[in-house]
Amino acid sequence: MVQPGPPRRPGKQIAPFLRNMILGLTSYPNMGYSGYMSTQEISERLELLQGTLDLLILRTLNVGSQHGQGIARAIQQTSKEELLVEHGALYPALQRLEKRGWISAKWGTSSNNRAARFYSLTAGGRKQLLKETTKWNRLAAAIERILEPEGGEG
C-alpha cells in the first residue's frame, strides 16, 4: 500500500532548490524527498532543513551515551512532543554520523535487558556540534530578523 505524500498547498509547488534542502525524516514512497518529523497530523507536520536531524542527535548525545530509541525519545521529550524521529530516519543518520567519526557505537544492554547499540559523541562530534550550533543560531537569527522586522513592519 502506498502512503500519501507530504501535504501540499493548492497551487504551490516547492522550488527544486528548497526540495533539495529538505531532510527526509519520514519515508514516502515514490517521492524525491520528505521532510517531516512531527507527532502532529500530516497537515501540521514540520519541514526541517537538511542536517537538522544530525544536529539534534549530536546535541542529544552531548549529554551522554544513549541507544537509538533513547535518542529518539529524548528528542521527542525535549521538543515537548513536537518532534518524532522515525526509525527509518534515525538509524541511517546514526550510521552516517558514525561513518563521519562524529559518534562511536558499542553494544550494551538497555534498561529493559535487551542488547542495544549505545552511541557516544566523539571529540570530532563535539567540534561538529559547536560548528553546526553556531551555523544554526546564525540562520535562526537571520530568519527572525526577516519575520519580525523592527518598527512593527509586516
**Per-residue tens of pLDDT for the chain, all 154 residues:** 444 444 444 443 433 333 333 333 333 333 333 344 544 566 676 666 678 999 999 999 999 999 999 999 999 999 998 898 988 999 999 999 999 999 999 999 999 999 999 999 999 999 999 999 999 999 999 999 999 877 655 5
Q: What is the pLDDT of residue 81?
A: 87
Domain count, the chain: 1
Q: What is the pLDDT of residue 37?
A: 52
State the pTM of this model.
Answer: 0.69
How many whole angstroms separate alpha carbon 23 and alpha carbon 36?
8
How many whole angstroms separate alpha carbon 59 and alpha carbon 73?
13
Please report whether residue 147 resides in a domain. no
Cell 502532529 belongs to which residue?
40
Please report whether residue 142 resides in a domain. no
Please report whether residue 2 resides in a domain. no
Please report whether residue 32 resides in a domain. yes
How many whole angstroms separate alpha carbon 99 and alpha carbon 87?
18
58: domain CATH number? 1.10.10.10
Please report whether residue 91 resides in a domain. yes
Please report whether residue 11 resides in a domain. no
Please report whether residue 10 resides in a domain. no
How many whole angstroms separate alpha carbon 138 and alpha carbon 133?
9
DSSP reduced 3-state for 66:
strand
Structural domain that includes position 94: 16-132
Please report whether residue 150 resides in a domain. no
**Strand order, beta sheet including 115-121:** 66-67, 115-121, 103-109
